[in-house]
């Protein structure tokens, strides 16, 4: 029974639960359905409202677009109307111009006909005039044209010559002005000391008693000294002094050092003289080498052959009119370098050539010929560039200078040599030498005038062209040069230039 009650209770509970579930679910469904109906109704209302609002907005937009379109159409119509009016006006203007052009063309056609007619008449008149002119002038048209062209050519040539002469004068003035400026700058920037020396050296002795010891028994000491050194030892009444005389400055310096060493030592005999001479020779060679190296260093030149450096050092003991040649060479190097820098040309080449330009003076006692040619030959053998060789050869006019650097070396050499105080020659003797040179040249027949140039290193001889021919000029130059060699004493060489000139002069009135 218990099981029956239990089962019955379960069945009853299930039925009751089912009924309650159906009741509550149906109620919830109904409520949901009502809610859904309300939502649909609200959505329909909202949609209607939105539809109306959108319709209103669309109508407003259509209205505005229509208004704008109407306004745009009105503006376009106005523009089209204005454009149409302008086109009509332009068309009317073109029509008026076309009418005017037609009239103008008609007038031009008429004028062209008249011009052709007049050209024909003018050609006929010109032909008649040519015939008449040919008859009067006695020449054809081609001949007259030739004469006219020749006259025009002569006039143009004359005018061109005047213009060229004026241009040359202006260029010469400008070149002279710039040259003076450059030379002035070079002289201002270079200052060198000049030592006046001579061909004799004086050696002071403590007492006159040493003179007898220097002479030696029966003159053996003095003979050994002169034979060994190659210089003249002069012992006279000059108190406490003996004189060494030699044209070779290196030998004279070796002799001076030898004699001073012997006097200081006190032992004077042939064997001692020979010993002291060898030491003096070694010392002077060392001085020569040091002087050459110092000169090369001072000038800032590199790559010189050792023999060239040694030869430069020998110039320390060489003088020209009292001017030390090594110092002169250094000054020429400085001057040429400064002027080359002002002109913008090769400074190194100018300084190198300036330093080596008087190289031949160190050896011209041993070799015949002008020192410029001797120096160039030595530099050529020792591998110097051809530009430097040309500057050395041309610095006294032995060769015509063909480069700017050669002209600068020539100018620097003249500046250094003519600087006040550079050379010991007095003004009076200098003027007399120039006057004698000019008088010698003017003593020859046919010479009109002569001029000493370049401090007496050149003589220009003007001859009478009627008396002296071109062939005679060559002979005259040789004769004058020969007479100068025989009668005058001068340093270096003198260039003789004979000028024969013919001039044609006409006056325009």
Mean pLDDT by 10 residues, the chain (509 residues): 77 75 70 82 86 87 88 90 90 87 86 86 82 67 74 76 77 69 56 49 78 81 82 78 79 84 83 87 87 86 86 81 79 87 87 87 70 85 88 82 86 73 52 83 88 80 87 87 83 82 74
Domain 200-418 matches domain 428-500 at the CATH topology level: no
Contacts of 77 (CB under 8 A, 6+ apart): none
Q: What is the pLDDT of residue 422?
A: 46
Q: Within 13 A of 126's CA, how many CA atoms are on the CB side?
A: 7
> Terminus-to-terminus CA distance in the chain, angstroms?
182
Domain positions in the chain are: 51-134, 200-418, 428-500
> Which residues are 461's β-sheet partners?
450, 498
Report the C-alpha gap between 382 and 303 in whole angstroms: 11
Q: What is the pLDDT of residue 322?
A: 62
Q: What is the pLDDT of residue 194?
A: 45
Task: Centre a 10 Å sphere on the Cβ of residue 243 and count the other Cβ atoms it contains.
Answer: 14
**Sign of the Cα pseudo-torsion (362, 378, 191, 423, in order):** positive
Contacts of 293 (CB under 8 A, 6+ apart): 309, 313
Task: Centre a 10 Å sphere on the Cβ of residue 310 and count the other Cβ atoms it contains.
Answer: 17
Q: What is the pLDDT of residue 365?
A: 58
Superfamily of domain covering 428-500: ANL, C-terminal domain (3.30.300.30)
Q: What is the pLDDT of residue 310?
A: 87
Looking at the whole model, is its pTM more than 0.85?
A: no
To the question of domain 200-418 being in CATH 1.10.357, the answer is no
Report the C-alpha gap between 363 and 374 in whole angstroms: 8
253: left (phi over 0), alpha (psi -120 to 50) or beta: alpha
């Amino acid at each position: 029974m218990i099981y029956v009650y239990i089962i019955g209770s379960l069945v009853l509970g299930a039925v009751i639960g089912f009924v309650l579930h159906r009741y509550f679910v149906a109620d919830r469904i109904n409520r949901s359905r009502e809610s859904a109906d309300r939502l649909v109704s609200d959505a329909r209302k909202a949609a209607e409202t939105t539809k109306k609002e959108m319709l209103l907005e669309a109508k407003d937009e259509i209205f505005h677009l229509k208004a704008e379109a109407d306004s745009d159409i009105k503006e376009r119509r106005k523009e089209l109307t204005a454009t149409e009016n302008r086109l009509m006006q332009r068309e009317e203007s073109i029509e008026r111009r076309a009418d005017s052009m037609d009239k103008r063309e008609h007038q031009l056609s008429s004028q062209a006909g008249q011009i052709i007619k007049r050209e024909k008449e003018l050609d006929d008149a010109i032909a008649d005039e040519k015939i008449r002119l040919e008859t009067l002038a006695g020449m054809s048209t081609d001949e007259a044209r030739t004469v006219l062209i020749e006259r025009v050519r002569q006039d143009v040539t004359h005018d061109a010559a005047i213009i060229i002469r004026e241009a040359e004068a202006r260029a010469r003035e400008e070149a002279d002005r710039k040259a003076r400026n450059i030379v002035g700058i070079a002289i201002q920037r270079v200052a060198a000391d000049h030592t006046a020396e001579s061909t004799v050296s004086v050696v002071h002795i403590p007492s006159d008693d040493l003179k007898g010891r220097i002479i030696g028994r029966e003159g053996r000491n003095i003979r050994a000294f002169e034979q060994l050194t190659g210089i003249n030892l002069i012992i006279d009444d000059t108190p406490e002094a003996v004189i060494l005389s030699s044209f070779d400055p290196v030998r004279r310096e070796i002799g001076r050092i030898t004699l001073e060493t012997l006097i200081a030592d006190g032992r004077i005999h042939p064997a001692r003289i020979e010993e002291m001479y060898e030491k003096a020779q070694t010392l002077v060679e060392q001085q020569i080498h040091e002087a050459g190296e110092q000169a090369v260093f001072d000038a800032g030149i590199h790559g010189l052959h050792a023999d060239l450096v040694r030869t430069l050092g020998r110039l320390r003991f060489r003088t020209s009119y009292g001017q030390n040649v090594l110092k002169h060479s250094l000054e020429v190097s400085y001057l040429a370098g400064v002027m080359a820098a002002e002109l913008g040309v090769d400074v190194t080449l100018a300084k190198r050539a300036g330093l080596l330009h008087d190289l031949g003076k160190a050896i011209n006692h041993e070799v015949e010929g002008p020192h410029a040619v001797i120096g160039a030959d030595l530099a050529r053998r020792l591998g110097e560039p051809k530009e430097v060789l040309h500057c050395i050869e041309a610095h006294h006019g032995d060769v015509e200078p063909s480069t700017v650097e050669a002209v600068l070396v020539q100018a620097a050499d003249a500046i250094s040599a003519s600087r006040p105080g550079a050379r010991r020659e007095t003004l009076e003797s200098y003027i007399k030498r120039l006057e004698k040179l000019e008088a010698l040249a003017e003593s020859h027949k046919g010479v009109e005038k002569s001029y000493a140039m370049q401090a007496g290193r050149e003589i220009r001889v003007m001859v009478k062209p009627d008396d002296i021919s071109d062939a005679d000029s060559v002979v005259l130059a040789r004769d004058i040069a020969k007479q100068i060699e025989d009668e005058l004493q001068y340093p270096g060489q003198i260039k003789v230039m004979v000028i024969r000139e013919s001039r044609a002069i006409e006056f325009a009135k």
